[in-house]
Structure 1
Amino acid sequence: MGVNLRDIIFFEKLELKDLEGLTIAIDASNWIYQFLSSIRQRDGTPLMDRKGRVTSHLVGILHRTSALVENNIKPVYVFDGKSLALKSETISERTRMRLEAEKRWKEALKKKDLEKARKYASRASRISKEIIESSKELLDAMGIPYIQAPNEGEAQAVYLVKNGDAWAVASQDYDCLLFGAPRVIRNLAISSDINLELLELDKILKKLGISREQLIDIALLVGTDFNPGVKGIGAKRGLELIKKFGDIYTVIKRMNLEVDFDPEVLRNIFLKPKVKKKYKIVWKRPDKEKMIKFLCDEHDFSKERVLNVFKKLKKVDFTQRRLEEWF
C-alpha cells in the first residue's frame, strides 16, 4: 500500500508511445496484487485451474507483459525479498483486514449480493509463495527477466534505474520516490481509458522546495509501511511542518509530539536500503513448448490464446541488441 503522498505529488501525463524502446523495472508484488484483485469472476471468485489453484495473476502477467513487449517496451520484473522486521506490524494489519474482507465476501455471497461480493473479494486478495513461484515460472517461459531483491522490491527496482539498467520504475506506490527513484510510472496498463502518470523526483522536489530527506520526513509523519505516523498529520500538513521547521526532529521537538519510532532508523531504510548489486538482465526468446506445458497442460489455459501471445513475444528479438542501445 505504501505511503499516501497523493495530495502533494504532481505528475505529467504520459502516453504508451513515449516508452517505446525503453526498459521499465516492474514492481512485481504491486502488479501481481493488482491482477489478483481485479481479474475475478462476477461473484469475486478468482480464476482457478481444475486443481483449484489461482491463475488470475498468470492471466495478468501473460497479457500485460506481452502487450508491453508488442509496444516495444522492455519489462524487467523485480520481486520482494525478506520483509524487514519493522514491517511486521503493517503486514499483521493487512492480514487482519484481508481476513475481515474475506468474511464479508462470504456473507455477501450468501445474500447473493454480487456487487458487494466482488468488492470485498478484491480486498481479500493475498500473495502466496505458490503465486510468486508460478509467476517466475511463467516469466521464464516467456523469456522475460526478473530479479529477486534481498528485501524491498521497490528499492531494488529503483537501484536498476539509478544504475542505468532501466529508465523508470512501474509501480502505484509513492515509496519509490522515497527510495530515490528518478522516474516512476503509475497506471502502466494497456488500456485506452487509463492515463499514465510520470513522476519525476527532481521536478517534484524543486516544485515543493524540499530535499529528498525532507520528503522522507514528511512520509514518516504521514505514516509508512514501517511506522504508523502521527495522528492528524496528512501530506499537506506534513509538508507545511517540514518547510517551517526543517526536519522531523525539530517538528517532534517544537510540536511536542509523542512518537514510537526512531526517525534515523526509518530514514536509513529509504536512504541506505539493502539491494543486490550484481545481477544479470537477459531477454530470451519465448519458449513455446514451455508456455504450452505450463499454461495449457498444468493450468488449463486455452492453447489458442497462449499461441497468440507467443506470436506477440516472438515478434521482438531482444537478444540481438545490447541494453545500452535502448537509451
Structure 2
Amino acid sequence: MGITKLADLIRFDAPGAISHKDISDYTGKVIALDTSIVVNQFRAATPLLSPLLGVFFRTLTFLEHDIKPVFVFDGKPPGEKTAVLKKRAEAAGWGTPSCSGTASSQTKDCLQLLKLLGVPVIQAPADAEALCAWLVREGTADAVASEDMDTLPFGASILIRQLNAKKQSEVVEYSLSKLLDKLQITHKEFVDLCILLGCDYCDKIAGLGPKRALTLIQKHRTIDNVVLHINRETHPVPHFWKYKEARKLFLDEPQIEAPKLIWTEPDEEALVQFFRCNRSAKEDRVRRRMERFRQMRESKREEREKEKAAGHSRQTRMDDFFRVTRKREQPVEVADSSNSNRKRPKSK
C-alpha cells in the first residue's frame, strides 16, 4: 500500500518535485530495488507464469542500459506491519505470509537467480524499503526504484517509479528535497504527514483527507499537536494509536554495515540449468533472451562511445580558443565492481 494518496498530494501540491525521464537517463546509476515488490508485480500481472521469469527479463533490461541494480530482500517485518501483510496476502489470494523472516522456497530461488545474473543482493534486517532508502542516504545507491511511496518518508532522496517503462518519458522520478521545500516542512514533519495519510504501521485518523492532513501539519508541525486541534467527533483518533512507533520505524536507521557491491557477467549456462530445474522457462527462450541481451548491450555501448567521441571532439575544438592555466582535478568516477563499496554522491 505504501502511503495512502501521497502521489496525488504531490501531484497537486508539489508538482515541481516530479520529473519525467527515460530509462536511459539512469545509465551508470546504482539503483536499489525491493525484491518483493518486483516479484509481486509479476505475480499479479502474469499469474500463469513464474515471477522468476519476469525478474530474469527485467534484470537483463536494466543491465542492457548499464544500470546497476541492487536487489534487497525483506527481513523479519516489524510487528506493527503484521496485520497489513496478512490482509494484503488474503486479498491477493496468496495465503498467509511468513512473518518470521524465514525465506520461502520462492525467495531462495529468486536469490539464486539474481546471483546467476551477476547482480548483488542484500538481506535487510527488517523492511527492504527502509534499507533501500538508507543505501541512497549513505551514498551507496543513487536512487530507489519502487512503486511504493513509503520510500520517501524512509528518507530516500530520489524515488523512481515505472523504471521498467519502455516508452520515452514514462519513468517518473520524485525528489524528496524539492518536495519538502515546496511543502515547507522538515523530513520529520513529512513523516508525521505520511502517518496521517495512512501507512502500513498503524491506523489513521478517520475522515482526514490529504489536503486537511497537510494543512494541519503545516500549521501544528507534529501529530502530537494535531490531535489537540481536531474535532474528535468528526475525526476520531484510534484507540491505543501507535503513531509514535510508526514514526520511529520511519526515522531509525537500519543496523547494518555499508555493503560491498559487486556486479559480474551473467552465467548463461547456469541460468539455462536453473530454469530447466525450476521448469519455469524453456531453454531456447532463455538462450534467445541472453543473445538479445548481448546484442542490445553492445549496441548501446557503441552508441555511447560515438556520443562520447563526438562530445570530446567538440570540446577539443573549444579548448583551442583558451589557454589552459592549470590542470583541473579530475572528477571521481563511479567505482568499478572491485571497489564499489565506496560511498557515491547522491543524484541531484
TM-score band w.r.t. shorter chain: 0.7 to 0.9
Match of 1:136 in 2: 111
The code of the aligned residue for 2:85 comes to I
Q: 1:271 to 1:27 in 2, by over 3 A?
A: same
Q: 1:142 to 1:214 in 2, by over 3 A?
A: same
The code of the aligned residue for 2:20 comes to K
Q: 1:268 to 1:280 in 2, by over 3 A?
A: same
Q: Offset at 1:12?
A: 0.8
Q: Offset at 1:258?
A: 2.3
Q: Offset at 1:280?
A: 2.4
Give CA deviations for 1:153-174 in whole Å, capped at 9, x if unaligned: 0111111111211110000111
Q: Superposed, which structure 2 residues align to 1:54-73 within 5 Å? A: 55=50, 57-73=51-67
Match of 1:118 in 2: none
- Mapped to 2, the partners of 1:273 and 1:325 lie a distance apart of 17
Match of 1:229 in 2: 204
1:77 aligns with 2:47: no
3-state SS, counterpart of residue 141 of structure 2: coil
Q: Superposed, which structure 2 residues align to 1:63-142 within 5 Å? A: 63-99=57-93, 129-142=104-117
Q: Choose the corresponding residue for 1:23, options 30, 35, 41.
A: 30
Return the TM-score normalized by structure 2.
0.77
Q: Offset at 1:98?
A: 2.9
Match of 1:109 in 2: none
Which of structures 1 and 2 has the bigger CA Rg?
2
Match of 2:9 in 1: 8
Q: 1:98 to 1:59 in 2, by over 3 A?
A: same
Q: Offset at 1:282?
A: 1.0
Match of 2:43 in 1: 36
Q: Offset at 1:194?
A: 7.4
Q: 1:326 to 1:254 in 2, by over 3 A?
A: closer
1:157 aligns with 2:158: no
Match of 1:215 in 2: 190
- Mapped to 2, the partners of 1:235 and 1:228 lie a distance apart of 15
Range with greater deviation from structure 2 (18-27 or 258-267)? 258-267
3-state SS, counterpart of residue 72 of structure 2: strand
Q: Offset at 1:134?
A: 1.1
Tell me how many residue pairs correspond in the alignment.
291
Unaligned runs of 5+ in 1: 41-45, 48-54, 103-123
1:290 aligns with 2:270: yes
RMSD of aligned residue pairs (Cα, Å): 2.7
Match of 2:148 in 1: 173
Q: Offset at 1:266?
A: 1.6
Question: Is the Cα–Cα contact under 8 Å of residues 22 and 73 in structure 1 kept in the other structure?
Answer: yes
Q: Offset at 1:212?
A: 1.1
3-state SS, counterpart of residue 212 of structure 2: helix
Q: Offset at 1:297?
A: 3.8
Match of 1:258 in 2: 237
Match of 2:289 in 1: 309
The code of the aligned residue for 2:3 comes to V
Return the TM-score normalized by structure 1.
0.81
- Mapped to 2, the partners of 1:326 and 1:274 lie a distance apart of 19
Q: Offset at 1:321?
A: 6.5
Match of 2:323 in 1: none
Q: Offset at 1:69?
A: 0.5
Unaligned runs of 5+ in 2: 302-334
- Mapped to 2, the partners of 1:266 and 1:90 lie a distance apart of 13
1:238 aligns with 2:213: yes
Give CA deviations for 1:112-154 in whole Å, capped at 9, x if unaligned: xxxxxxxxxxxx8989812211111110111111101010101
